[in-house]
Structure formats: structure tokens, C-alpha cells
Amino acid sequence: MTLDDIRHTLLEAVKTGKVGTPVALRLHLQLTNADASLLSTAATLIGLCEPLFKVEPSQLFARSNAGGRQLSLLCETESGRTCSITIGSGSAKAASLNLLLVGNHGVIRLEGSELFDESSLNTSDANIDRWGLAIEQSLVSNALATV
């Protein structure tokens, strides 16, 4: 399962009204590569939030562990919708992506998270330029960044 497959499935579920209006997205990604760029991966995953919420996040809070092998983000839109992303690297034997989309009429949970294709993360994505700086600023200040 690729990131594009997941994006398509989520957008189709929203389009058909299966979950109603999305209000929260939770993503937990474990990567096998200890040298993976968590910053670019996080920026790519933020790209999943925007089309679902039909608006970009207006605030972002990022934290990283001391070793730099785990990154957690909380993004919030002006209307209070949230996207929570946690990425870990180098501690898993196989990549996995756990996903939960909460809408006002239902929930979508990703099944088969261990089938996620880590190589499908397009880290040359335009979202990296757009969100990378905001993530870095939040990490430096350890404070909520207005985007």
C-alpha cells in the first residue's frame, strides 16, 4: 500500500460522505531507515491533511526526541480540526502506518498498516518547502507556530 493509495482512499471516503466532515486525522508512521529525514516525511504527511480538511493548518506544534529519531506534530486549522502525526525511524523491522480519520458521522481506520510501502513517501514533495520551515521553527522554539 502506497501513500498515494491511502490519499485516494481517504479522499474518496470523504467525497462519498462515509465519514461526514473530517474533524481529526491521526497518523503514526514507523520507518525502518534510521537515517530517514523525519522533517521531510512529516511535511509530506501534512499534505494528507489539507485536501481532507479543505484548508491548510494555521498552527503547528512540533517536538522531537533528543536522538532525533522520533518527531511528533500537532497541526490545527482555524476551525479547530486537528492532524496529529508521529514518526519514528530505525526501530522497526518493517515500515507501518497507522491511520485514523475521525469525521462527524464516522471513522476510517487503516487496516493492514504493516503493508505500507516506505519507498512510496515522496520526499521531494512541494510540501517540504512549504511546511519544513514551520516545523523547524517550532522545533527550535518548542512553541506553537502560527503558519
Q: Does the predicted model carry a pTM greater than 0.85?
A: yes
CATH number for the segment(s) 3-146: 3.30.360.10
Is residue 33 within 8 A of residue 118, CB to CB? The reply is yes
pLDDT bucket at 16, cuts 50 / 70 / 90: very high
Q: C-alpha grid cell for residue 121?
A: 513517501
Tell me: the pLDDT tens digits for 35-54?
Answer: 888 988 998 888 888 888 88
CB-count exposure of residue 25 (10 Å: 0-12, 13-18, 19+): buried
Tell me: the pLDDT tens digits for 78-94?
Answer: 999 999 999 999 888 88
